[in-house]
Copies of this chain bind each other. A is one copy, B any other.
Amino acid sequence: MIILARQQIEALMDYDLAAEQIEDAYRAASLGKVNLPPVGHIVLREHDGDCHIKYGHVEGDPVFVIKVATGFYGNAARGLPSGNGISLVMCARTGAVRAVLHDEMCMTDFRTAIGGAVATRLLSRTDCERITVVGTGVQARRQIEAHARLMAGRRLSFQVWGRSAERAGLVAQDLSGSGLTVSATEDLAGACRNSDAIITTTASSTPIIEHNWIRPGTHITAVGADAPGKQELDTELVAGADRLIVDLTSQCEDHGEVATAIRAGLVESDRLVELGAVLDQRAPGRTANDQITVADLTGIAAQDIAMAKMVVAAYQKGQGSGPE
C-alpha cells in the first residue's frame, strides 16, 4: 500500500499528465462511463463543520477512488485551513487499498485549476494572450500556474483583481517571481474590457462580472460557483453568451453559473454543451473569433479520480514499477 503526504503529492504533480487524465475524465463523464453514486455527507453541527465523500469508478479503470473532503469554518480563527482531505485509491479487481493520499485538499485545488486551464485552452481564441483572474486565493494562484503550463506556447500575461488590492499585489509578486507575467489591477472593468480570457475563482454569491464589460471574442472560465447560491457572472452575460460549456449538465443545471440563468428562464438546458463532448469533437466549441464563450465548471468526481490516478502513476514511475 502506497501512503503519500501532501508534500510528496505536490512534488509528484505533473500538469501535462494530469491534464491528459482530466481530459479523459471529462470525456468519460460526458459519455456516461463514470459510475458515480450519490455524494455522502455528514454535518458536524457542534463544530460548524461538514464532510463530503465523493467516490466513483470509470468504466474499465483498474482502480476506483474515494475522496473525503472536510470543511470546518471555525478553523480560520485557530490559524488552520478550513478545508482538508484524503483520498483512497482502491483496486477495482480485488477491493484492496492501493494508495492512501493524504493531500489535505491540494489535489482538489490542482484538479480544479487544471480543469479550468483545459477549458480555456480549448475554448479561447488561438491568439489569446491577455487573461484577467478574479480572486486572490489559492485557486487564483493555481489557475495562473495551470494556464501558464498548459498554454505554454502562448505569451500569456495575467492581471489579478481582488476585493483586497493588497492580496492581489501579493499574488502578482509571488508568481512573477516564478517567471510568469502577472500584475495586479484595481480596475476590474477595464481589465475585462481588454482581456482575451477571464477566469473567475471567488466564492461570491452576487455577480462580480458585468456583461457590458465583455467584448466579442472573449472566453470566460468560471470555477468559483460550485454550489447553489454562488454566482460570479451576471445573468445577462451567461444568457447572452454564444456558447455555454459545462463540465456536467445535470450538475450545472442546479449548481453553477448557468443554474441562475436557467431558473430565471433566460437559458434552456438544451443550450448547454459538455466539455467532454467538445474535447471528443462530438460537439463544437468556439466556432468563430467574435463569439463569447463561457465554461461553467462546478467540479466533478471524475476529475478527482483522474488526479488520484495521476499521482499514483507518477509515484510508481519514480519507483521504477509500472502501473498496477
Residue A80 at the chain B interface, CB threshold 8 Å: yes
Residue A282 at the chain B interface, CB threshold 8 Å: no
A43 to B57, CA, bound (A): 9
A57 to B80, CA, bound (A): 22
Binding site for B on A (CB under 8 A): 1, 3, 35, 37-38, 40-44, 46-47, 49, 51, 53, 55-57, 59-60, 64, 66, 68, 70-72, 74-75, 78, 80, 82-84, 86, 88, 90, 92-97, 100, 102
23 chain-A/chain-B pairs, Cβ below 8 angstroms: A1-B102, A3-B100, A35-B42, A37-B42, A40-B40, A40-B53, A40-B55, A42-B55, A42-B56, A44-B64, A44-B95, A49-B93, A49-B94, A51-B64, A53-B53, A66-B68, A68-B90, A70-B96, A72-B94, A75-B95, A78-B94, A84-B95, A86-B88
Given contacts A37-B41, A84-B97, A97-B84, contact A51 B90 (CB under 8 A): yes
Instruction: Find chain B residues with CB under 8 A from A42 CB.
Output: 35, 37, 55-57, 64
Given contacts A37-B41, A40-B40, A56-B42, contact A95 B66 (CB under 8 A): no
Instruction: Find chain B residues with CB under 8 A from A56 CB.
Output: 42
Interface SS, A side: strand
Instruction: Find chain B residues with CB under 8 A from A102 CB.
Output: 1, 97, 100
Extra 15 A-B pairs, beta carbons < 8 Å, given A37-B40, A49-B94, A80-B94? A37-B42, A40-B53, A42-B55, A42-B56, A44-B95, A47-B92, A51-B95, A53-B66, A68-B90, A70-B90, A80-B96, A83-B95, A84-B95, A84-B96, A100-B100
